[in-house]
Structure 1
Amino acid sequence: MFITDLHIRTDSWLAMDTQLHDWRMYYTFGYAMSRFEPQVVIVLGDLFDTGYTSTDSQFDELTRKFHRIFTYRFDWAFNGSSVQWLPINGIDFVAINSITMDGDDDNGCPLCPPMATRQQLRTLAEQLCRRRQSVNNNNITDNCHKHRQWRRRRPIVLTHYPLYRQNEAQCGHDWDSIPDDQRYIPYRTKLDCLSRTASQAIVDGLGPRLVVNGHTHYDCRLRHWSDTLAVEVDEWTVASFNYRNLYTPTILLATITADSYSIRKCLLVNENK
């Protein structure tokens, strides 16, 4: 189960607004857990509404509130690693820190430079490819990405920012899609989406069968192509889970096996109806 962009606020904001949205997320998440009984829950996008502008005490307050609203144990949380391999039930998930893929020089962020992250990505891609060959008792070759077993069992990539796109023009028209009057607003790389170079590094480096992310607050499904690996890469940007961001929040329900996946979208009650 995927949810994104919680945008939790401290209680110093308008108390009624904050408590109302916290309450909605608490009960909606609790019902979804009991109704769907997911094996894994993945939270992407902006967890908090203030982020790096918070003081240490405010960040601690937000962290405590996150665990009060989402009263389940999370195995991986608040991890700032640039590239992280997460093997879950025999499926390779790769979490990528979007900021480090492009760097953040504009804001003076001291995170590792993008080239170091992209090198980590290339190293992990090779390890996963050769590991898949080794598991299946195949001779390891220099072009392991051409092997049929790898092509069927490519990883699932998790990012914060969407892959590069000019705007939301190619996204669908659903209840949780971006409003038509915002659909053609140009996206700014490193703020609204990854750069073209960083996106291609993910698509060509890992050749994932699926990329899941958030950040835009609206639903979008796109398909990319890797000329390097000759594979299609599906991308699903999940709409926000918080009613503050749109009238119809979303839960994404995914069934993922080693060599296939299927996705169903669960729209919450439309607040505007």
Structure 2
Amino acid sequence: MSEMDLRHRRDQRRWSRELMQMFLIVGLVFFLCEYAIYPLVLIQCSWPQQPQNADRDANVLRAMVLADTHLLGPFRGHWFDKLRREWQMHRTFQTAIGIFNPEVVFFLGDLFDEGEWVKGPDFDKYVSRFESLFSVPEHIDIYVVPGNHDIGFHYQTLPHKHTRFKTAFNSSSVRLLRLKEVNFVLINSMAMQMDDCFLCEEGLTELKIVKEFQIYSRPILLQHFPMYRESDSMCTGPDSAPNEEKFDAFRPTFECLSADSTKVLQQIIGPRLILSGHTHHYCLYNHSIKGFGTVPEYSVPSFSWRNRNDPSFFLGHFSRNEFFLSKCLMPKESTANLLYVSGSLLIICTLLRRILIYVFRCLWFVLVRRAR
């Protein structure tokens, strides 16, 4: 066997090894970005730590709170955009359920991105996709409030849109839940405009019924729209609104509830905590409510990469007189993209190295032959 043949065989073996290494890199990067990254990030989160003076004998409810999943429908977004974002939310949610095992999960509206536009069959498909992506074991309960993308803004909400969402998710204009001696009031923000719309009359009537339960435990209010505030200018933190949006004035009934609706809700319900969504950004805003003191409102960031590079959700311990919250950061889309780019560059560099070696050897053999 000639020396050229021996070199050719050695080159083939090297090429085979490098090809296997490239396939291994592809597999590892894919596994890391699509599976392993979720537990690696979420395991760094934990349930809120209770202070030393907390009531250790209280009956505590463990709850997970998320907002603005915005599942795409038939009109918006590319199919790959839909696939990518839904897979990200599905893996995050299922991993979180497995790690934290909450007793209840609250969705603060805008489950769908096109819920107010789709017709009956597409809405049914929407509901089926939601139930598939966010499925939970039987011992975990899910509670939902509607958002403007689910049934439309106040002026767009029609009876059939409200009815089909209410039927699918057992939601109403105002819903009182009593879980482990903790009162939760779930509000349909579109029903809180305090005018003569069909939702608003129903909502105001149901609100007055809730008031009598304050004697047992001041409720926790969950809704899609934030209470009235002028803007997000007072919100701080890396996942608060970016500076170019932070000082934009909120339009009442679009970015937040009106001042009048906020006052009525605060006085009738007298909440000790408010949890909202809608803005897609984190915010802690303290309301001063006459007769009830200072009440914090947390705006929960969007759960989807489509709205944020750094989505998150809340974990909460709730008891009759106390509550404790922690925010859980999810994997960043930029991190996954960086891993894919790094893996791709490594493969490209490996291929270029092999091609250059092959070209230089061919030129060497040509030059040697000519020299002979």
TM range, smaller chain: 0.7 to 0.9
Paired residues of 2:224 and 2:276 also in contact (CA < 8 A): yes
Bigger drift between 8-17 and 240-249 goes to: 8-17
Give the match for residue 308 of structure 2. 246
Give the match for residue 141 of structure 1. none
Please report the TM-score for the alignment, with normalisation by the length of structure 1.
0.84
Structure showing the higher helix proportion among its residues: 2
Please report the TM-score for the alignment, with normalisation by the length of structure 2.
0.62
What letter is aligned with 1:188? R
Partner SS, residue 191 of structure 1: coil
Distance 2:296 2:208 in 1: 20
Deviation at 1:75, TM superposition (A): 5.1
Paired residues of 1:211 and 1:234 also in contact (CA < 8 A): yes
Give the match for residue 255 of structure 2. 192
What letter is aligned with 2:272? R
Give the match for residue 321 of structure 2. 259
RMSD of equivalent CA atoms: 1.8
Distance 1:218 1:28 in 2: 18
Post-superposition Cα deviations, 1:70-120, rounded to whole Å, max 9, x if no partner, equal: 112645452341111011111100011111111688xxxx63235x52343
Cα 1:9–1:222 change in 2 (3 A) is same
Gap runs ≥5 in structure 2: 1-63, 145-168, 336-372
Q: Does 1:88 align with 2:179?
A: yes
Give the match for residue 227 of structure 2. 163
Paired residues of 1:46 and 1:215 also in contact (CA < 8 A): yes
Distance 1:104 1:243 in 2: 36
Post-superposition Cα deviations, 1:118-173, rounded to whole Å, max 9, x if no partner, equal: 34323311x2034x2xxxxxxxxxxxxxxxxxxxx311011110000111001112
Q: Does 1:269 align with 2:331?
A: yes
Q: Does 1:20 align with 2:84?
A: yes
Distance 1:103 1:239 in 2: 27
Give the match for residue 5 of structure 1. 68
Distance 1:96 1:88 in 2: 17
Q: Identity percentage over the alignment? A: 32
Paired residues of 1:217 and 1:246 also in contact (CA < 8 A): yes
Flag as ranges the 4+ runs of structure 1 deviating above 3 A: 73-77
The structure 2 residue matched to 1:128, chosen from 191, 213, 235, is 213
The structure 1 residue matched to 2:200, chosen from 113, 128, 153, is 113
Larger radius of gyration: 2
Give the match for residue 288 of structure 2. 225
Q: Does 1:172 align with 2:227?
A: no
Distance 1:104 1:8 in 2: 30
Distance 2:195 2:82 in 1: 30
Aligned length: 244
Give the match for residue 277 of structure 2. 214
Deviation at 1:45, TM superposition (A): 2.2
What letter is aligned with 2:331? V
What letter is aligned with 1:255? H
Deviation at 1:15, TM superposition (A): 0.9
Distance 2:288 2:280 in 1: 24
The structure 2 residue matched to 1:204, chosen from 259, 262, 267, is 267
Deviation at 1:269, TM superposition (A): 2.0
Distance 2:198 2:126 in 1: 22
Q: Does 1:51 align with 2:115?
A: yes
